[in-house]
Structure 1
Amino acid sequence: MPSLRTVLIAGFVLLAPSFAFAATYVVTRTDDPAPGACAVGDCSLREAVLAANAAAGPDTIQLPAGALTITIGEIVVDQDLVIDGAGIGTTIVHHALPTLLHVEGAALALSNLAIDGPPLADDPPQAILAEAGASLVLNAVRVPVEGGGVTIQGGSGPTLDMRACDVDYAIVSSTDGTIDVADSRLGLLVLNQGEIDLHMQRTLIDAPAPSIVPAGIAIMTTGDVLVEDTEVAHARQGILVQGLPLSSLVFRRLHYHDGSAPLQVITPTAFTIEDSEFDDNTAIADFPGAIFAGNGAQANVFGTTFARNAGNGDTGGAVHLESGAHALIVNSTFSANTFTSAAAGAGARGAAIGLLGSSSNPPQLTLNHVTIVAPTFAPVGMEGSAIGVRGAPANSATIVFNSILRGSCRFESPLGGSLGNAHGNIEAPGHGCGLDDATNIEDASIASLALGALDDHGGPTPTYQPAANSIAIGAAIANFCLPSDQRGYLRPLADGCDVGAVEVDAIDRIFADGFQ
């Protein structure tokens, strides 16, 4: 009869797992010969990948410094794999293929290399095509458009993780998945379908001319989207959000500048913009310079500055609302927004904000503690240097509290109109906004506002800070005073508050408790 010790040992042997040890393959060749074995001192990239596919992995391939050229067809990756170069500017993989790396249901991690190609004569190729639930991790990888795009399609649950990358375009089309982008530059990112979550931070979206890539982000997904500390420059695509409603959509500390297409949200989604700047954007198509909201979108804008944007449509130089869109704009500043000369010549209306009314689906605008300053020089034909509304009064709604309107309003003629529910506001220099002088100040002079210049007065975004003798100080209606101003400084609610986005005697939150 076997001993207990013998039985236990035998059982352990039967239950012990079969371990597969990861291998490391060192590429020594820079050409792409007909594949053979990946031998020590004689191994190409293709041979190394074939060897890794045949092993259980996950394996690692080390690439040398210099230029590698791939010529005889795409390289298929079907096992989890790490490919590591000698540096983003040191290891360069050249190809002129429709697809360079084809990842099938595996996890591929690329780092410290670039993928390049010849000047484009046609549509760009694919640098990386990942399918059937494959996942990609890119760290310090550069892929210009000549080298191709990064595409993930098909399957469920893929991930794309990009860190310190420089990629001209990436497209994700899957039923669901997660995208994390940080400390990178992207030309164009497209989320094409499914429930895809995006978290982007400290990233530049830019593809300046003469690039063929129309810089921007296209979001056609139903997941959660959070974009933080990100710069969007020279955008010809802009940020486009359409399709089914998203679970959440938040832009925090976004700098959107020098583009020709706005942030467009044309799906019934509530979205939030916090502590952001939209400046020096000039629309080319029939759009505002900064934000277009329609189809029931609900914009919540806090602590944001819109400066020197120019619309090219008939309503809204910086912000345009239509088709049931609602916008709540709080503690924010509009400065010198305008229209292109062509749009102004055709009677464009509402240099800062425009509403296109609808009897069946009216838009709504709510402003609280907002400062609007019209451009010093308005293009010929422009109507309403602050707010403009098209359509009968019943076809849109405006609610304005404790705000400065240093500019004019324009409503539909001959129907007239006014800012419907408006209290605690100051209009200068006229009275075209139809304010009730019992609860607002009309016909104020620009000098009496004493706003000074748009500048850094503390906080994350540029603001106007009224001088000590400004009529805005202490003139707000207390019931509509907010706890803090655009800079995040605390308003002294017990003593009343100032009209506009900035509280002159506000207390920086850092010192609010009396300690430094």
Structure 2
Amino acid sequence: MNQTKLLFIDSKVESYHHLIPEVDPQTKIVILEPNGNGIDQISKSLCECLNVETIHIISHGAKGALSLGNSILKNDNIHLYAESIQKWGKCLSASGEILIYGCQVASGQEGREFVRQLHKITGANIAASETLTGNVSRGGNWNLEVIFGQLKSALAFTPEVRASYPGVLANIVVDTTDDVVDDSDGVTSLREAIIEANSTPEDDTIQLTAGATYNLTISGSDEDAAATGDLDILAGGGEITVISQGEEKAVIDAGGESGINDRVFHVVAGGFLFTDGFLLLENVEVTGGRVSGNGGGIKNSGTLTINNSIISNNSPNEVTGVIGYGSGIYNSNTLTINNSTITGNLSTSGGGIHNVGIANINNSNISGNSASLSGGGIFSFSFSSLGSTTNISNSTISGNSAYFGGGIDNDLFSTVNISNTTISGNSVDIDGGGINNTGTVIITNSTISDNSAFSSSGNFSTANAYGGGIFNRYGSLSISNSNISSNSASLRGGGIANLLDATVNISDSTISDNSATDGSGGGILNYDGTASISNSTISGNSAFNGGGISNLAGIANISDSNISSNLANFNGGIVSTGTSSINNSTISGNSAGVGGGIFIAGTASISNSTISGNSAGLAAGIYNLNSGTASISNSTITGNSSFSGASGIKNTVGGTTIVTSSIVSGNANIDVEITQSGNILISGNNNLIGTVDSLAINSFNGDRDQVGVTNPLLGELTDNGGPTLTHLPLSNSSAIDAGSNPNALTTDQRGEPRFAGEGVDIGAVEVQPQSIQEIIGTAEADFLNGTTGQDSIFGLDGNDVINGLDDDDVLFGNRDLDTINGDAGNDTIFGGRDEDLVFGNIGEDFLRGDRGSDSVFAQEGNDTIFGGRDNDFVDGGFGNDSISGDLGSDTLIGGQGIDTLSGGNDADIFELAVGEGLDIIIDFVPGQDIILLDKTTFSAITSDSGTGFSVDAEFAIVTSDSDAETSEAVIVYNSNNGKLFYNANGTAAEFGSGGEFANLTNTPSISENDFLLRE
């Protein structure tokens, strides 16, 4: 139904719900969102209507200005919205009207000009108020005194509703930048506007001039009345909004060192008798606060909302020496920050924000702040076990500095939730370049990068800096779908340091390119804590010890993760002196002077995992030392290289290693080594082992262990499915079906079923039965590629190009001129109709040209080839092939190997060669079929090219092989057994460089006319 009356109500109008109940039911009511552009919201709603009779607009107003959502429409900017406002007029009927209820909108010359411009742009009849609109006791009325055009419509509200409405629709317009309190001077200062707004319980909007600077010059201290010093927002004074009128921000400046020595705003708590003070800042900059105590820019004990604003360059009063927290903002109640910047503030703790209440930070930038102690950007603090809560989303926290927690410091009992946020370039003297946590921090979809924890020359400086990205001590840390990268610490935990009963859970994340310069844990340090890592990548990190992960006296659980390309002086991938569990993971490409992959001096369980491509001067794969216990099952250790010591497993100095159903083979140096007789190496059976030293040989002597298998026949380390890289056993690997399942695993490292053949495979990967991928072309010319598995590809119509790629494929060209390539695998190829080009490539293929004059090249492998109908060209290539021309006059070439040729019906050409193996022709028909000899191959032939031999003596028929040897002829046929010889040395014994090159098994009676010679 088309609405002909619309009522737009700005949600910032106090008690607006009081106006709605008695509105005409035929009127559509639209509530304007406070954080959206109200002008655009009105335009969007009107676009859904036609022939509108009346538009009512309820919002705060001022002389020549109208507040709509987060925007103010006024004389200075109405031209910028002309296109949008014109849409209002287009939706109105010919006599359409706009009623504007905002206070004093039409007041004075400025107000009348504003209404006139609206009338001109929309073409509508317009009525607006030049006085206060609203409650009579507050000086208001409901008269719309200024009219452009002819007004017919009644007001939107009944007399009873108008009489009972408690508020007025007025903005308080600040029309001087002076800081004065003087009721007789005819102007309103910011301080006077605050005092007026505090005086009533109704909501108020204070309107500032864009780009103007409001310097606070009246000194005072803590009288909490806004008359002197800071601007106090009192309890019980309603919601107070301070907003800049235009694009430029209005600046409110407390003067810094030469100013009032107070903060800019103080939002006062209400206690038991009054509601808390409420302040909304919109499009302003708060600066120059300098206070003896907390909250240099703003101290909030009530409700504070900051939109599209800047809080900058506020600081403590160093003269008094009083410690101050939160020089940008000190919040002890409820704080919301949207699309704003907190920058350049300096404090003891919480340089940008000190939160002991609830803080919500959205789409904002916290940068360049500093604290001499904790939380350069944000300090989330708790006075009790109730704690504080800080929620940060879609924001940037960068370039902040502190002693602890350069970006964020989160205290005991407090919680910080971080989502879609970047924390970068922050720094500390001690711990937690990006984040320092002793409470609870939850990070999702965020980036923690380029933060640093390095000592300086200032107070408390030390070389023992931990946690370049994040320092978690006693706390709870959760990280998901996030990136922790390029952070650095001077001692431990370049990316993350997790200490002293702390817990960290990392999932679906990347920890990369972090560094711990002089200590442990380039990516992650877990010291006496608990770390759980799943579906994540730890790569490219570096440290003195433990380039990827250092688990020192802690508990580390690693699953479905890649630990790769980390670097250290000692122990490149993982060092564990605590308890580690590694499942379904790959440790690859790490390097160190000692211990390339995993160093164990505690207890480690490794299952369904791959350790590959690691390198070290000593012990590249697993190094088990100092009474460590390593239990390795259903895992693959291969491709590791070390200068000395075992490249697979080195067990020494009291270590105990148990290996079950695992591959330890194909490493560059010895695969398994025990360096002292007191060490314990136990086989759990069903292992595939390469080379072992003299002490280890007796450990792998069970019937189900395979020892001395130096080539385990594995594929490259690559993506074989699942979250990690793996080695897939080749089809002829002795690991297949020869393993066991000691841990009752249901899946392999990739997540594929563990029971896929006659038995469990040895190692981390279970070879699966291949499913066939069906690919069907179109009626057009298609380019069809198979997969690395078994494919069934049908080309349909068009000149198709079909590639089977790996594995055993079935390829069918169908109609038109197709090019078909089987690639690797034992393929079955049908050319289909028309003239096709078919390549078998690698493998033992079945090739059929089918209809049309096809060209079929079997290439490598022992292939079976049918030319099919029509005149085909068939080349067997390499291998022992079976070739049938079938129907049509075909040309058959056996190629290298022992080939069997059948021409089939019709006249066929058998192109033979010498030195490429024996061709066996089973159905040669004299007078119909032709034997083609190339004189470049049969170089002793001097007869002219063409049919037969122009030199009669060059062809002879004999009845024994010995007669063939001594014949003067070059080409000799034994009519008793069908053998054809190339007699390259004439009457001399044997055949010189020649010999038997074909056998016509049906012993036909051939003559020289059955030969065709070619240059």
With structure 1 as the length reference, what TM-score do the two structures score?
Answer: 0.72
- Of 378, 403, 410, the residue aligned with 1:170 is 378
Can you give the 5+ residue segments of structure 2 that lack an aligned partner in the other structure?
A: 1-163, 199-232, 269-275, 368-376, 399-406, 453-467, 489-493, 615-619, 641-646, 652-656, 669-710, 772-1015
Structure 1: distance between partners of 2:770 and 2:381: 48
The 1:178–1:484 alpha-carbon spacing in structure 2 relative to 1, beyond 3 Å, is: farther
Q: Which whole-Å deviations, capped at 9, do the CAs of 1:411-458 have from their partners, x for residues lacking one?
A: 476x5x6652111122123332446565221122489554446x8x88
Structure 2: distance between partners of 1:38 and 1:284: 68
Q: Does the alignment pair 1:365 with 2:580?
A: yes
Q: Does the alignment pair 1:439 with 2:620?
A: no
Q: Does the alignment pair 1:139 with 2:338?
A: yes
Which residue is 1:273 aligned to?
506
**What code does the residue aligned with 1:97 have?**
R
Question: Is this contact kept in 1: 2:588–2:611, CA < 8 A?
Answer: yes
Q: Displacement of 1:294 after TM fit?
A: 1.6
**What code does the residue aligned with 2:342 have?**
V
Q: Which whole-Å deviations, capped at 9, do the CAs of 1:463-494 have from their partners, x for residues lacking one?
A: 425467497988885454766788xx752344
The 1:334–1:321 alpha-carbon spacing in structure 2 relative to 1, beyond 3 Å, is: same
The 1:103–1:208 alpha-carbon spacing in structure 2 relative to 1, beyond 3 Å, is: closer
Can you give the 5+ residue segments of structure 1 that lack an aligned partner in the other structure?
A: 1-17, 357-362, 391-395, 508-516
Q: Does the alignment pair 1:186 with 2:397?
A: yes
Q: Displacement of 1:151 after TM fit?
A: 3.2
RMSD: 4.3
- State the secondary structure of the residue aligned to 2:594: coil
- State the secondary structure of the residue aligned to 1:48: helix
**What code does the residue aligned with 1:320 have?**
S
Structure 1: distance between partners of 2:360 and 2:583: 39
The 1:209–1:422 alpha-carbon spacing in structure 2 relative to 1, beyond 3 Å, is: closer
Q: What are the equivalent positions in structure 2 for 1:88-103 lying under 5 Å apart?
A: 91-95=284-288, 97=290, 99-103=295-299
**What code does the residue aligned with 1:491 have?**
E
Q: Does the alignment pair 1:235 with 2:456?
A: no
Q: Displacement of 1:388 after TM fit?
A: 1.5
Question: Is this contact kept in 2: 1:228–1:252, CA < 8 A?
Answer: yes
Question: Is this contact kept in 1: 2:753–2:766, CA < 8 A?
Answer: no
Which residue is 1:152 aligned to?
354
- State the secondary structure of the residue aligned to 1:289: coil
Structure 1: distance between partners of 2:508 and 2:310: 35
Question: Is this contact kept in 2: 1:95–1:147, CA < 8 A?
Answer: no
Q: Does the alignment pair 1:199 with 2:396?
A: no
Q: Displacement of 1:92 after TM fit?
A: 3.6
- RCO (CA 8 Å, sep 6+): is it higher in 1 or 2? 1
**What code does the residue aligned with 1:492 have?**
P
Q: Displacement of 1:28 after TM fit?
A: 4.4
The 1:147–1:494 alpha-carbon spacing in structure 2 relative to 1, beyond 3 Å, is: same
Structure 1: distance between partners of 2:310 and 2:303: 19
Q: Displacement of 1:253 after TM fit?
A: 1.1
Q: What are the equivalent positions in structure 2 for 1:8-87 lying under 5 Å apart?
A: 28=174, 33-34=179-180, 42-44=188-190, 48=194, 51-52=197-198, 53-54=233-234, 55-64=236-245, 65-70=248-253, 71=255, 72=260, 73-74=262-263, 75-78=265-268, 79-86=276-283
Q: Displacement of 1:215 after TM fit?
A: 4.2
Structure 2: distance between partners of 1:502 and 1:67: 68
- Of 334, 339, 354, the residue aligned with 2:575 is 354
Structure 2: distance between partners of 1:199 and 1:505: 46
Question: Is this contact kept in 1: 2:327–2:345, CA < 8 A?
Answer: no
The 1:477–1:438 alpha-carbon spacing in structure 2 relative to 1, beyond 3 Å, is: closer
Considering only CA atoms, is the larger Rg found in Structure 1 or Structure 2? 2
Q: Which whole-Å deviations, capped at 9, do the CAs of 1:249-298 have from their partners, x for residues lacking one?
A: 42111210111132111131443211111111122352311111122x12
Number of residue equivalences: 441
**What code does the residue aligned with 2:420 have?**
R
The 1:28–1:207 alpha-carbon spacing in structure 2 relative to 1, beyond 3 Å, is: farther
The 1:170–1:210 alpha-carbon spacing in structure 2 relative to 1, beyond 3 Å, is: closer
Question: Is this contact kept in 2: 1:369–1:501, CA < 8 A?
Answer: no
The 1:196–1:126 alpha-carbon spacing in structure 2 relative to 1, beyond 3 Å, is: closer
Question: Is this contact kept in 1: 2:381–2:388, CA < 8 A?
Answer: no
- Of 525, 529, 543, the residue aligned with 1:292 is 525
Which residue is 2:328 aligned to?
128
- Give the share of equivalent positions with the same residue, in percent: 16
Structure 2: distance between partners of 1:117 and 1:231: 27
- State the secondary structure of the residue aligned to 2:194: helix
Structure 2: distance between partners of 1:499 and 1:161: 50
Structure 1: distance between partners of 2:266 and 2:666: 71
The 1:436–1:60 alpha-carbon spacing in structure 2 relative to 1, beyond 3 Å, is: same
The 1:420–1:468 alpha-carbon spacing in structure 2 relative to 1, beyond 3 Å, is: closer
Which residue is 1:252 aligned to?
480
Q: Which whole-Å deviations, capped at 9, do the CAs of 1:331-369 have from their partners, x for residues lacking one?
A: 111111112xxxx2xxx2x2111123xxxxxx1011111
- Of 492, 498, 502, the residue aligned with 2:753 is 492
Structure 2: distance between partners of 1:403 and 1:95: 59
Structure 1: distance between partners of 2:355 and 2:636: 54
- State the secondary structure of the residue aligned to 1:283: strand
Q: Does the alignment pair 1:305 with 2:488?
A: no
The 1:105–1:177 alpha-carbon spacing in structure 2 relative to 1, beyond 3 Å, is: same
Structure 2: distance between partners of 1:26 and 1:485: 71
**What code does the residue aligned with 1:255 have?**
N
Question: Is this contact kept in 1: 2:355–2:378, CA < 8 A?
Answer: no
**What code does the residue aligned with 1:238 have?**
G
The 1:411–1:469 alpha-carbon spacing in structure 2 relative to 1, beyond 3 Å, is: closer
